[in-house]
Chains A and B, each alone.
Chain A
Amino acid sequence: MSDTSPKTARDEWGTRFGFLMAMIGGMVGAGNIWRFPYVMGDNGGGAFVLAFLTLLFLLAVPGLMAEVALGRYTNKGIIGAFRDVVGRGGMVGFGVVVLLVNIALMSYYSPLIGWTLYYAVHSLLFTFTAPGFEAQAFMDSFFANPALMIALHTVVMGSIAAILALGIRRGVERIVVYAVPALVISLVIMAIRGLTLPGASEGIAFTFGVQWEYLIASETWIAALGQALFSTGLGWGIALTVGSYLREYDDVPLGGGVFTAIGESSIAILATLAIFPVVFAVGVEPDAGTGLAFVSLVQVFPEIPLGGLVAILFFAGFFLATFTSGLLITEVSVTTVSEETRLSRTQTVLAVCGGIWLLGLPSAYSTEVLDFLDFVFGNWGLPLATLAIIGVIGWVLGPERLRVLTVNRNAGIHIGTWWNPVIKYVIPAVMLFIMAYFAWENFREPEMIAGMLVLVLFPLIGYAIMSLVEGRRDTTDTAGVTGGDD
């Protein structure tokens, strides 16, 4: 959407491939690279894969279909989509909840993208294979440099703003159609390098060895549930926003549901094949999170032939994975704010990215703040957003209405009535269970108390804001389409 075009002229994806890569780019993030391989190996390997695959098809695939379909049905961002369903009034505030969670998520995700950028730059400088390099000391000095962290956070948000200002087709699509395939290619090359190293088979045995007893352990299913829901970005507003830019004859369930959920998980599998054979070949202790990406792997690169080039492939891929997610997470707010205000797209991008940059300063300054926010929003904020989106589809719009009107319209695969109870009952129940489980696990911890505040305050703030805003507006088109609980 150019700045001079009227707001009624809505942008759309230029190609089907662009839409698909935007979905994958938005969903594949740090969790696929630095969390999935260890979680898989630590929870029974093949047993975890079976549990994860089951939950992907049971929850993530149908849920993503619903979210994309809501975006396509309304052709609007989060708040506009909620208003179209619930009608004007305070209940639109649940859309504000999703928006607030997205802004909070991006405020601490941007500094994390900055970490991957820093390591990607140093991989290009062959720092990690230089004589006398110490991975742990390098990471510690990096994390102890708040000025550098803030500078990287600024570069990341500035880059995202520059791309988003160009619009959906000229900005986001042009980046993702190259970035996502580049990520896949870099991981494939790294996997080939890793699998051809002596001792790589131990990494394969760790991650793909089947420990059947894990299949009946609740921890395996909780871990698989967390991965299936959080890794696919279900209910964060990304799929809704990306779906709102679909073209007239585009399909929803095959591309927005099956391909997105299974495709983004395939990249996690590929990351496992790229990382763990290398880690085990060198005899380094497997780990997750910063310990895996910034210490274990960095220790490995000097030990293997062509290690400097493998480091470039890994960190370039890692940066692309996080950066494209950041792009799409920010687009959720840009689309919505642009529709709800009189600001042009460029003005909206500047306002949103500026706001996120400001809110992200504490996370850039201190990794403790980042970890705290990640825990609070990962365990309660994001499930709340998912509950809001799937709840409004399941209990207000009605899954059967959405299925016959949008999901099966121009669809590449037919979705039957089995889909309705999954959207109406199963996913909301699972989200409530997850929030309760994490609250019980962290009972009375500061993170749990902050999580409860998010659960209570965000809906109240959203309701208050929209009651105030909607009350001032003309109410001639307030109908909504409530009463669709089949």
Chain B
Amino acid sequence: MALSAEVLGMLAFTLLAFWGVSLWALTRTLRQESRKVDILEHQDRMDTYSPEALAELREWIEDHPNDPLADRARAQYNECVDVVTQTDRHFYDWSDADINRLERL
């Protein structure tokens, strides 16, 4: 029995959608892990937020200054700012302009 083009197409799509995405995620996360290990061999700390995520964290802290988790959030924010401004190797893509704009809270 010869398979129709539709069946073959769906088989290819399914393999790509499941195994393609899984292998992409596995490769990406293991490569990121290697980069993190490299950075931590070079310095003892590493940036913990991307520029976009750190901006969102700052916005949340400013919008919720009295939240029970505000102190924890502030500590995490300041930790990331310190690492980004005091170290030369970063995990996320920080431009000089991004770094110059950073301020502790």
Contact = CB atoms under 8 A, between A and B. Distances in A.
Interface of A: 15-17, 20, 45-46, 49, 53, 199, 201-202, 204-205, 208-210, 249, 251, 254-255, 258-259, 262-263, 265-266, 269-270, 400-401, 403-405, 408-412, 414, 479, 481, 483-484
A422 to B, nearest CB: 17
A412 B68 contact: no
B76 A205 contact: no
A262 B25 contact: yes
Interface string B4-23: 10110011011101110110
Contacts of A49: 10, 13-14, 17
B25 A263 contact: yes
Contacts of A20: 26, 29
23 contacts: A16-B33, A20-B26, A20-B29, A46-B10, A49-B10, A53-B17, A201-B2, A202-B1, A204-B3, A205-B3, A208-B7, A249-B48, A255-B25, A258-B21, A262-B22, A401-B69, A403-B56, A404-B73, A409-B49, A409-B76, A412-B29, A483-B67, A483-B68
Given A20-B26, A262-B22, A412 B32 contact: yes
A254 B17 CA distance: 16
Given A251-B29, A479-B68, 17 more contacts: A46-B13, A49-B14, A53-B18, A201-B3, A202-B1, A208-B7, A208-B10, A209-B6, A254-B32, A259-B22, A259-B26, A262-B21, A262-B25, A269-B14, A405-B76, A409-B48, A414-B52
A411 B29 contact: no
B52 to A, nearest CB: 6
Interface majority SS (helix, strand, loop, mixed), chain B: helix
A371 B49 CA distance: 47
A53 B56 CA distance: 30
B36 interface: yes
A16 B32 CA distance: 10
Nearest to A206: B7
Given A263-B25, A409-B49, A409-B76, A209 B10 contact: yes
A254 B29 contact: yes
A50 to B, nearest CB: 9
Contacts of A258: 21, 25
Max chain B C-beta neighbours (<10 A), residue from A49, A258, A409, A410: A410
Given A46-B14, A201-B1, A254 B25 contact: yes
A368 B46 CA distance: 55
B50 A408 contact: yes
B104 interface: no
Nearest to B27: A259
A188 B37 CA distance: 32
B36 to A, nearest CB: 5
